[in-house]
Structure 1
Amino acid sequence: MVLALILLAVAIVCVIAIFREFKRQNMFGAAFSAISALVFGFFSIATIYWELIRPLVTGE
């Protein structure tokens, strides 16, 4: 569960970086931040699902 929280924190920082790089008009940095936010966000949501939601639904 700690891994999911760390990944979520990194994804939130990446979203903040997207806006900062758009303000600086650095499109390469904004694109890199967007890809990072998508990847880290996906893995954080997948980890939360796998650790919390799936055991409740399957009854494990």
Structure 2
Amino acid sequence: MQVGEFVFGVMMLVVAILSAFAVIRELKTRNFFAVAFATASLFLFGWYSVMTIYSQLFTS
């Protein structure tokens, strides 16, 4: 397991969590353009971080 890639995956997970907060905040203000970008960021960073962590922990 390479520690650098695992740490990068965790950092991207933090970015995905912040994107989830951004989606909620922008839904309250009804800024749907920002909701679209925050949702796209949430899915992209979330998928990348989960797959990076998965590949570091469960594959050889």
User: TM class, shorter-chain normalised?
Assistant: 0.7 to 0.9
Of the two structures, which has the highest relative contact order with CA contacts closer than 8 Å and spacing of 6 or more? 2
- Give me the TM-score of the superposition, normalised by structure 2: 0.88
Matched, 1:27 2:22: no
- Give me the TM-score of the superposition, normalised by structure 1: 0.88
The count of residues paired between Structure 1 and Structure 2 equals 55
Gaps of 5+ in 1: 56-60
What root-mean-square deviation, in Å, do the aligned CA atoms of Structure 1 and Structure 2 show? 0.6
Structure with bigger gyration radius: 1
Cα shift at 1:47: 0.3
Identical columns (%): 38
Gaps of 5+ in 2: 1-5
